Structure 1
Amino acid sequence: MKIKAGLYIGIAIVLIVGGALLAVKGKDAVSQAESRKQGILDAEQKTIFYQNSPGSIVEVSVAVGDSIKQGEVLFKVKSAEGETDVVAPEDGSVNKIIVKPGDLVQLGMPMAVLQKNNFYTDLYIQESEIQKLEVEQSIGVYFPYLEHPTEVTGVITSIAAAPQFASLRMSREKGQADLSVFLVRVTMEGNADLLPGMTAEVKLDEVTD
């Protein structure tokens, strides 16, 4: 009987210790998940509007997907005042062309949509972590799913002044209320490896106050 009792006690101890270890690992996993914030990479866009006298499109000088430089001619328009060029206001690429040769254009009509070389991602940060961050702060942005994971330097350009919504805790502990969440936008310069739609990640545990 004593042997059986000892065996049962030993099994109980193993179960208790094992459960405690699993609980610790579970909390570590939750903490790690909460410290890694992911967002979708997107690119800033700019619509080109016609700014001259009414006329007709005589030439479209670019195609969708073309890389362009500031000042590069996008369209040629013939009006009563003669032929004028519509040029790119900044570097980027052509995302959409709205007009075609022969179309009539008037002041304020959209002609094309350009994709800027600046990228951004929006992150939702809990109020318990928001004090680590501030506008114009530099921050590392990781792209973990590339063939060769890479990191670029981003800059926080905005932090929402008010909580966007309530975030339920992954584990509810007695006496703790749900945390509110803030919207943080991080911008970065584009490069050949980055494309809109990629997953961007910020590790808050690597950010110092």
Structure 2
Amino acid sequence: MKIKAGFYIGIAIVLIVGGSLLAMKGKDAVSQAESRKQGVLEAEQTTLFYDKSPGMMVKVNAAAGDSVKQGDVLFQVKSADEGEIDVLAPNDGLISRVAVKPGEQLAQGMPVAILQKNTFYTDLYIQESEMDKLEVNKRVEVHFPYVERQVQIDGVVASIAAAPQFANLRMSREKGQADLSMFLVRIAMESNADLLPGMTAEVRLDEFAD
């Protein structure tokens, strides 16, 4: 009987110790998951507006999908006031859309194209308790966990803004704890041939020193 009792006590000890280790590992996994903030990779775009005197579109040198360099002539316009006018690309990038065609009359302020810049960004929602790790212009590593070939690139915190609409109600509100305040953090980065808009971008807050 004593042997059996000792056997059962030994099993109970093993189960207790094993359960404690699993709980510790579970808490560690939860902690790691909470420190990994994910967002969608987006390409920065800008709308190009015609800002000269009214005229007629004479020539369109760009089409959707074209890569352009800053200073490239995208359009040529004939104006009664200014003569031949070249509309130039303000940045390097990719033409997403052309909104005009030859022969069309242009008025000042009219949109003529959409340019996708060679810069990416992702927006992350960060809890107030974690904000001490981030500040504007701080450099961060951005990971892409679902890309087959491991990719990580340098990013920078471009802006931080309050996001009150994403406040989360804590489960223990009855204990007097307030709602969690959330902040919208934009991470900017250079474009990369291995990445496409729409991919999942991840920043790991546990990589930063407090």
Change (3 A) 1:110 1:162: closer
Aligned residues: 208
Aligned to 1:95: 96
Aligned to 2:24: 24
1:164 and 1:183 in contact (8 A); partners too: no
Q: How does 1:97-176 map to 2 (within 5 A)?
A: 97-161=98-162, 163=164, 165-167=166-168
Does structure 1 residue 13 correspond to structure 2 residue 49? no
User: Deviation of residue 162 (structure 1)?
Assistant: 6.2
Which is helix-richer, 1 or 2?
A: 2
Change (3 A) 1:183 1:164: farther
Distance 2:3 2:147 in 1: 58
Bigger Cα displacement from structure 2, 23-32 vs 185-194? 185-194
Could you list the per-position Cα deviations for residues 57-109 of structure 1 after superposition, in whole angstroms to 9, with x for gaps in the alignment?
22210111111111111111223243321111111110111112222221111
User: Deviation of residue 17 (structure 1)?
Assistant: 2.1
Change (3 A) 1:32 1:175: farther
Distance 1:167 1:23 in 2: 25
Letter in structure 2 aligned against 1:197: G
Q: TM-score w.r.t. structure 1 length?
A: 0.88
SS at match of 1:184: strand
Change (3 A) 1:160 1:115: same
SS at match of 2:63: coil
Letter in structure 1 aligned against 2:134: L
Letter in structure 2 aligned against 1:158: S
Aligned to 1:205: 206
Letter in structure 2 aligned against 1:54: P
Letter in structure 2 aligned against 1:160: A
Aligned to 1:48: 48
Distance 1:91 1:117 in 2: 6
1:164 and 1:182 in contact (8 A); partners too: no
2:142 and 2:154 in contact (8 A); partners too: yes
Distance 2:164 2:206 in 1: 21
Q: TM-score w.r.t. structure 2 length?
A: 0.87
Distance 1:131 1:164 in 2: 21
